[in-house]
Chains A and B, each alone.
Chain A
Amino acid sequence: MEFTISFIAKAISIVLFCIFVFNDRNIFAADILSEDQENTAIEEQYDRDLSSQELLEKIDSVRGYGDLSFSFDIVNVSYKKNSEPLKNQLSVKVLNNQSIVKFESPARSRGRAMYKDGDNMWLYIPGTRKTIRVSPLQRLIGEASNGDVVGVSFSKDYFVFARGKEKLHEKLVTVLSLEAKSKSSAYQKVKFWLDKNDSYKPIQSEFYSRSGKLLKTAHYKEYKRFGEQIMLHKLLLVDPIKEGYYTWMLFDNYKIEKIPLSFFSKEALKRI
């Protein structure tokens, strides 16, 4: 009996060790990012119109309303080579760094709900009535991860470590390289291409893991006015490795609304 328990304890330790060691390794990808950073630094000609913090706030403003609580809907359509596209629909409520995501379709996912508080996320599964911890990086549908469908706050969660100018699609754009303030953020590094001639709206961004691996590229395809604010309406996420794998995200029905603070709770998921 003692031998069995000891054997299991050792087996679990080995599995945990392997997960720790191998999940974080991608030396080559780390090099790519640092080379990229060097290029940015060489070409750097600072655009002093807006501070880096102001630019981050500009980025946030196309996905939210600052400290006000608000809601929006998302439709994700994911494409994969030689497969039928997949679709889901979510409704999202946001207050600062907290979000509640409700799954509206397909029917088999209805009733599921996610809660994000900072870097922590939980998923409620209606069949079993269980609320389990999930990672913001876990894939939700296609190229979209759990962390992509909630509220974002680059101005609070990231700092700019490099800034420069580049030509992208014949446009001169401002390039920002961001690094997460917390080690547990979903994306450790993010690179943004902003359109200086269009209120610094994001045109493109790249998301990197802790090890420096490029996880996805986002193309900001369309913006739309909701009330007083211009918001992101259509986003295209592309897998950087696999050709033909991409996900369209439609952000719609942005609405500022009063949502009680207690609505944002892990325990509240089962009441939604």
Chain B
Amino acid sequence: MNRFVFATLILSIGLSTNSHAQEIEDPFSDGEFVIGSSERSKIENNVFISWSFLGLYEQDTKNNSSVLNSSHGSFLEKNSRLQFEVESKLNVSKQIKINGRGFIQQESQMYLDTNEDITKTENELLEGYLQWSNRASDLSILLGRAKPVWSNGFNWSPANLLYPYYERPHFDEDKLQQQKGWDLVQIEKYFENWSFSALVADLNSARFPAGQFQSALRLAFHSGWDASFILYNVDGEEIDSALTFSSLINDATTIRLEWARQHRRELTATQNDVASDSYWDKSVIGVTTRFAQNWDLALEYLHNQHGLSNAEWNEFYENIELANFNIENGNQIAESVLTLTSSSQMFELGQLRRNYLYLSFADNQDTGFWQYKQSVQVNLDDKSRLHRLQFINNWTPNFNTKLQFEVFEGCNSCEFGLLPSQKSIRLSFYYRN
């Protein structure tokens, strides 16, 4: 009976909606939205140039209980940035394309302790390459600066083996430097459900001797499930490898698995690198599911052997305390300042510990009103947490804003409790033409 009542109710709603549909005004009747020939030619145009503008203001609150915030350093309290990005695509012929993408920015940084106000201008070519494809478009050769992305992870990307890892410890869409590519030569061959690629790229990092190259081979398969296998090598080192897998497990849920084995540790601990392993594994398992009304839930677990063990972490923390003590007492000052600086820099290299959980909840409805994204990254080894909350508003098709809050929680000797910043607020404006 209940079922019958419910069914009748749904049917009546359906019928009333259908009759309502007859009265719905046609937005296309006045020709406003009709795709004219000029718009069509814009789509097919051989030269495409787009630009975007970003304005950003960020204010951080100092974590006074962090031993990395000793009175000997200076804390970056305010940061404002104006950034102009240009992307161009030129189809020289059906077989040759030239793509370029770069930015120029002016950034002002204000330091709390020293009252320093530094303004700097930067520009960078993020990507700039020439791509040739054969007539059948199943073979392409790319020459120039490009950014291949092999990882299918949401938050962590172990399969992105090319060095340096610009997007670590996490991807920040406002930090365009993270989207910089590598100078490379890449050949790709496409089959029906398979693709094969090989590349040689430069190694622009102080960690490696000048003139060294990195190379990679990638075999990828896509069908009901996706998988890829990557082999990676730096001159004179052992071969690293990575595997990725992703599949839909129902209409709304995707599962992702990634694993990478490297023969070089990601973290370059200056004093405490006691690990004697010959390789380090990093693996991620994650699910994302989309609920009705476009709500997304993502859950990921990262196991990271590159991270510091309990013993290494204790030593790392004790060395920071010792460096502070030495500076206060006028002993080994230069060495101690170096310890504090290199310890702070470790946070930019990746996750410092071994087990992490990531949970995010996002409202992806493109309603023009505030979209909401919330995430928490939990360090399972010391229970410290990074909370991130974002509100995005699309004011017009071209103009949108983002308000972001970050809060770092944890004990004084925990990863997120040790960070110099306790919380931050950032307001970003975007205009895209």
Contact: A260 with B27, CB < 8 Å? no
| Complex: A263 Cα to B222 Cα, angstroms | 15
B259 within 8 A of partner (CB): no
Contact: A271 with B131, CB < 8 Å? yes
Give chain A interface residues in 27-55, CB to chain B under 8 Å: 27-29, 31-32, 35
| Complex: A117 Cα to B248 Cα, angstroms | 14
Please encode chain B, from 120 to 156, with 1 for each CB lying within 8 Å of some chain A CB and 0 for all others.
0000000000010101111010000001110110000
Contact: A248 with B28, CB < 8 Å? yes
B47 within 8 A of partner (CB): no
Which single residue of chain A is at the shortest CB-CB distance from B220?
Answer: A267
Residues of A within 8 A of B287 (CB): 12, 15-16, 19
B299 within 8 A of partner (CB): yes
| Complex: A222 Cα to B13 Cα, angstroms | 25
A219 within 8 A of partner (CB): yes
A162 within 8 A of partner (CB): no
Please encode chain B, from 12 to 37, with 1 for each CB lying within 8 Å of some chain A CB and 0 for all others.
01101110110010111000011100
A192 within 8 A of partner (CB): no
Contact: B252 with A138, CB < 8 Å? yes
B247 within 8 A of partner (CB): yes
| Complex: A223 Cα to B338 Cα, angstroms | 73
| Complex: A153 Cα to B251 Cα, angstroms | 19
A77 within 8 A of partner (CB): yes
Inter-chain residue pair count (beta carbon < 8 A): 216
| Complex: A12 Cα to B50 Cα, angstroms | 42
B366 within 8 A of partner (CB): yes
Which single residue of chain B is at the shortest CB-CB distance from A135?
Answer: B251
Q: CB < 8 Å: which of A4, A15, A19 contacts B380?
A: A4
Q: CB < 8 Å: which of B3, B136, B137, B226 contacts A28?
A: B3
Chain B: interface residue total (CB-CB under 8 A): 82
Query: In whole Å, how far is A184's beta carbon from the nearest beta carbon of chain B?
Result: 8
Contact: A267 with B188, CB < 8 Å? yes
A57 within 8 A of partner (CB): no
Say what secondary structure dominates the interface of chain A. mixed
Query: In whole Å, how far is B171's beta carbon from the nearest beta carbon of chain A?
Result: 6
Give chain B interface residues in 238-297, CB to chain A under 8 Å: 246-255, 285, 287, 289-290, 293-294
Which single residue of chain A is at the shortest CB-CB distance from B310?
Answer: A1
Contact: A130 with B152, CB < 8 Å? yes
Query: In whole Å, how far is A214's beta carbon from the nearest beta carbon of chain B?
Result: 6
Query: In whole Å, how far is A120's beta carbon from the nearest beta carbon of chain B?
Result: 6
Residues of A within 8 A of B303 (CB): 5
Contact: A86 with B368, CB < 8 Å? yes
The verdict on A240 contacting B3 (CB below 8 Å), with A91-B43, A120-B224, A128-B149 known, is no
Contact: A12 with B35, CB < 8 Å? no
The verdict on A248 contacting B430 (CB below 8 Å), with A31-B7, A133-B247, A267-B188 known, is no
Contact: B224 with A260, CB < 8 Å? no
Given contacts A35-B7, A265-B190, 5 further A-B contacts (CB under 8 A): A19-B253, A110-B432, A131-B152, A139-B294, A263-B137
28 A–B contacts from the bound complex (CB under 8 Å): A5-B303, A8-B357, A8-B380, A16-B255, A23-B289, A28-B10, A32-B10, A108-B398, A128-B171, A130-B152, A132-B246, A132-B254, A133-B247, A135-B251, A138-B252, A217-B14, A234-B26, A236-B21, A236-B24, A240-B13, A241-B13, A243-B20, A248-B24, A250-B35, A260-B136, A266-B222, A267-B220, A271-B140
Which residues of B approach A to under 8 Å, CB–CB?
3, 6-7, 10-11, 13-14, 16-18, 20-21, 24, 26-28, 33-35, 39-40, 43, 50, 52, 97, 131, 133, 135-138, 140, 147-149, 151-152, 171, 173, 179, 188, 190, 192, 195, 220, 222-224, 226, 246-255, 285, 287, 289-290, 293-294, 299, 301, 303, 355, 357, 366-369, 380, 394, 397-398, 400, 430, 432-433
